[in-house]
Structure 1
Amino acid sequence: MILYYINTFIMAAALLGFLSENVVLITIVGIFLLLLVVNFFRIKKKKQKKHEVIRPVTDVIGSIPERVEELNQELKPFGFAYEPYQDIFYSIMYPWQREVGYCRLYDEACAPLSMIIDSEPIKFNYDGRKWLIEFWKGQYGMNTGGEVGIYYTTGSDINIPGIFNDTFYYCVKDEDCIHMSFALRKNGNLLFTRSGYHWWLTGFKLGEFSKPSELTMDIVLDLYDKRMVNAFVEALEKMGYEEDEFAVRDTRVMVHFDKPHSKQPSTRTTFTDFIMQRNNEAFCNAYQYLTEAYVDTLDKLEIVRNESPNMYNQILGVGKPKAVYDAFEKIRGWLRKD
């Protein structure tokens, strides 16, 4: 029995001596065994992941064309659509606005509704009708934008005591639309261009804050014939346009719209401009702050939709809201359809 304990002691002492003399070797062997165990579980985990189905990102958020189409379906009731290549909103061909024509009351309603815009109505007679081609540029709430519209009427001026005493124009029919184009610039830098056969050509840049005086429009109008050109140019000259502000090439008229030559709506006062522009700037800043982590407008709109539904609904309104056209209900009973 004593011999057994002696042998055990000798073996333990020998093992202890071996370990103390081969610490490095033992450490290496231990690390190797640990790596084998870790690698075993890693391979096992990878095999399990092979059976997981990962959906494409586009299945979750949709492709760009799908997202644009979805947005445009939301914008359609408001009369607008989104164009991703220039990152702008624009008016469609057959919006509800086409049913309400145009008159001076609409321009008067803009400033109190946070649309601080320069307007330039050019009125002339041609082919037995009264015509209106009007330009607009400025701040439309949360958007910097520009518009060109063409309207006509054969009716007499409307006199509604205390409400309206002027001409009401109808939006031109499809066959009377013209090809028009414009480039909108801010402090000389191009914001966007628009071109098309239309009655109301527009463009709006979301989240861009501007003073109307910072904006210029270079507009191209392809009119019907030389008689129409002459009538339009005569109206321009009567308004005060100089030779360096427009040019004529056959039936094409090019106009540089900077400072308006026409009298602006009475609602455009220094006080109104200041108050409404501070409000517009605050909304633009809020939009930029909320979406500063994103580059693409579609992503920005998704964030706004989730984080600020009220702002999202305001964005969908884009240009002139329906409240601008409330005056139509007051005068529609006095109108006769041309």
Structure 2
Amino acid sequence: MSTPRRSYFDWNATAPLRGEARAAMQAALATTGNASSVHAEGRAARALIEQARADVAALVGAEAKQVIFTAGGTEANALALTPQLEAGSDKTPRGALLVSAVEHPSVLAGGRFAQVEIVPVDAQGRVDPVQLQKKVEQTERPLVSVMFANNETGIIQPIADMGAIVHAAGGLLHVDAVQGAGRVACDMVALGADLMTVSGHKIGGPQGVGALVRRADLHLPALIRGGGQERGYRAGTENVAAIAGFGAAARAALAEREAAASRMAGLRDRIEAGLRAENPDVVIFGAGAERLPNTISFSKPGMKAETAIIAFDLNGIAVSSGAACSSGKVQPSHVLAAMGVDPALAGGAIRLSLGWETTEDDAGNVLNAWRKVASALSKGRGIAA
């Protein structure tokens, strides 16, 4: 008896490895040299890194020299969040770090800043521009860090508008584009971002590699010291295979971005309509805001996320309750709390995130599973496949 095909709806946690990335990594693993060596083998490794640097830069409208490779998005955020940001000859430290209330934990932790000030969001999860204006005007030389799109709800922030506010007050803007880059346009210049974080495994590259992309005239102290790699910004022998895979994934994501976004948006809308048709009391978080084309965050009164996740899993569907960055346990969402969502409703929040391999059959599978889950939950009984 064959095992039924499972449907994967947790792409915001990690995407499957693209074929292009796998091939690039296999080729890189056959390369012997250290990229810091000057002999032919070292130069071959260096060439792979520099090609990947150009491909990652192109994904966000930057130049290759602006890209600093790291071990992932979390490290890139930690590297970016420092008071010691030098803009050209200006070496005066940043006065404070301002972050939105819905940021990833690696940003909320504050990096190398001693204090973090929180900027509130509205009921749709968007930064309040009035509050942002007030806070940046009260802070001397602030660094503001805001994610391009939320990992739980998919809500897209008005980054260009925020950039104008921040720069008018003499501040700098860091954008965590881990969820947005490769899915929708994330051009650093158009957005007014001074620093931008991207990650390999969200776009079909390997886990354990990311990048901080900095404005060309912006300099910052290394977080990891002891070597001259990455132009002195990140010490340690480069992970050539992971970087090569990241670059190949970035190139593939950029090539198919518009077509993939249009197709995923259609599937997202079909699934949301199906969820509501089965249960009219389903709440789609952020439904009234601009969102990523691949993300659905929903709940219904009386539902418990942990129970629902297990039920979906038993029915062949991989979903999550939000970010997959802590202990693997279902925990209250700080994102939904910041949006003012009732704790009881937030406690049932489920995230469905789609990707380039998600099919119409997958959409049908998740809706069929939801009928079983919702029916069982409404009857207050256990759930089986």
Same fold by TM-score greater than 0.5: no
Shorter-chain TM-score: what band?
A: under 0.3
Instruction: Please identify the structure whose Cα radius of gyration is greater.
Output: 1
Q: Between Structure 1 and Structure 2, which shows a larger proportion of strand residues?
A: 1
Q: Between Structure 1 and Structure 2, which shows a larger proportion of helix residues?
A: 1
Which has the bigger relative contact order, CA under 8 A and spacing at least 6?
A: 2
TM-score, normalisation: structure 2? 0.24
TM-score, normalisation: structure 1? 0.26
